[in-house]
């Protein structure tokens, strides 16, 4: 899903020259992929001629701004009759859908390295590789410790990252808060998963 947030318009007109033809708005194209610099914004309106003062580039005086990245943009538009329109918008990175599925098997005990992750790529003309070990060709990885394990999938419109996370299990210990030295309490351990020896 591509995201381009448009637009808030504030009209500030000289009372003696207020005209409906001063109404302007933004149109544009979103970023193709996260991190790109190919979004555009164009001021559209009736009337004119207009002058354009872009906040991100004082040298830009045309109705269209190109090569835009993630961020906020503002332009002040004015006509010869003294009407001023201020347009604001935010360009956001598109959301890239995952092109595969990662399944995980949890680590059995704190400090162990017996977790696993398994990756399955979606049907299609895709290639993939493990980010931390590009030479590894197996979709299954075993004997893993805590951490994130990520596959980069190429061949779509944008690169897609699929990550599986492994963490150490934690153990809750329950028992009485107050006790007598002559009668030590019995404590019970409740592991998140796995077992307690």
**Residue 184, in any domain of the structure:** no
Identify the three-state secondary structure at position 114: coil
Percentage with pLDDT > 90 across the chain: 64
**Residue 185, in any domain of the structure:** no
DSSP letter for 96, please. Answer: P
One domain, residues 74 and 108: no
Q: Tell me how many domains the chain contains.
A: 2
Residue 173: per-residue pLDDT: 64
**pLDDT tens digits, 115-151:** 999 999 999 999 999 999 999 999 999 999 999 999 9
One domain, residues 15 and 77: yes
Of the candidates 149, 181, 153, the one whose C-alpha atom is nearest the C-alpha of residue 166 is: 149
One domain, residues 111 and 82: no
Domain final residue pick, 91, 112, 135: 91
Q: Which of 2-11, 26-35, 54-63 has the lowest mean pLDDT?
A: 2-11
Does the pLDDT value for residue 41 go beyond 70?
Answer: yes
Here the CATH number for the domain that contains residue 53 is 2.60.40
**Residue 12, in any domain of the structure:** yes
One domain, residues 26 and 82: yes
Q: What is this structure's pTM?
A: 0.66
Residue 9: per-residue pLDDT: 42
One domain, residues 112 and 85: no
Domain final residue pick, 51, 71, 91: 91
Does the pLDDT value for residue 154 go beyond 90?
Answer: yes
Distance between CA atoms of 195 and 197, rounded to whole angstroms? Answer: 7
* Greater model confidence, 2 or 156: 156
Does the pLDDT value for residue 67 go beyond 90?
Answer: yes
**Residue 59, in any domain of the structure:** yes
One domain, residues 54 and 125: no
Residue by residue, DSSP assigns 19-58 as -GGG-EEEEEE--SSTT---EEEEEEESS--EEEEESS-T
- Domain with 162, as residue range(s), is 100-166
**Residue 188, in any domain of the structure:** no
Distance between CA atoms of 18 and 84, rounded to whole angstroms? Answer: 10
**Residue 175, in any domain of the structure:** no
Contact 87, 8 (CB under 8 A): yes
**Residue 22, in any domain of the structure:** yes
Does the pLDDT value for residue 17 go beyond 70?
Answer: no
Burial class (CB in 10 A: 0-12, 13-18, 19+), 187: exposed
Query: pLDDT confidence of 81, banded at 50, 70, 90?
Result: confident
Domain final residue pick, 91, 117, 138: 91
Beta bridge mates, 71:
91
CA neighbours within 13 Å on the CB side: how many for 178?
0
Residue 15 has φ and ψ, to the nearest 5°, of: -60, -30
One domain, residues 109 and 66: no
Query: pLDDT confidence of 32, banded at 50, 70, 90?
Result: very high
Burial class (CB in 10 A: 0-12, 13-18, 19+), 67: exposed
Residue 46: per-residue pLDDT: 84
């Amino acid at each position: 899903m591509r995201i381009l947030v448009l637009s808030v318009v504030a009209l500030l007109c000289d009372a003696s020259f207020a005209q409906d033809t001063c109404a302007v708005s933004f149109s544009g194209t979103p970023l193709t992929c996260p991190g790109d610099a190919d979004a555009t914004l164009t001021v559209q309106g009736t009337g004119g001629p207009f002058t354009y003062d872009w906040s991100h580039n004082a040298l830009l005086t045309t109705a269209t701004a190109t090569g835009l990245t993630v961020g906020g943009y503002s332009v002040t538009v004015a006509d010869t009759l003294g009407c001023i329109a201020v347009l604001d918008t935010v360009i956001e990175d598109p959301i890239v859908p995952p092109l595969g599925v990662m399944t995980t098997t949890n680590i059995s005990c704190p400090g162990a390295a017996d977790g696993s992750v398994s990756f399955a790529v979606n049907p299609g003309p895709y290639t993939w590789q493990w980010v931390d070990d590009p030479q590894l060709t197996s979709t299954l990885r075993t004997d893993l410790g805590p951490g994130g394990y990520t596959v980069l999938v190429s061949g779509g419109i944008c690169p897609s990252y699929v990550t599986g996370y492994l963490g150490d299990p934690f153990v809750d210990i329950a028992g009485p808060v107050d006790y007598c030295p002559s009668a030590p309490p019995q404590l019970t351990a409740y592991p998140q998963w796995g077992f307690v020896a």
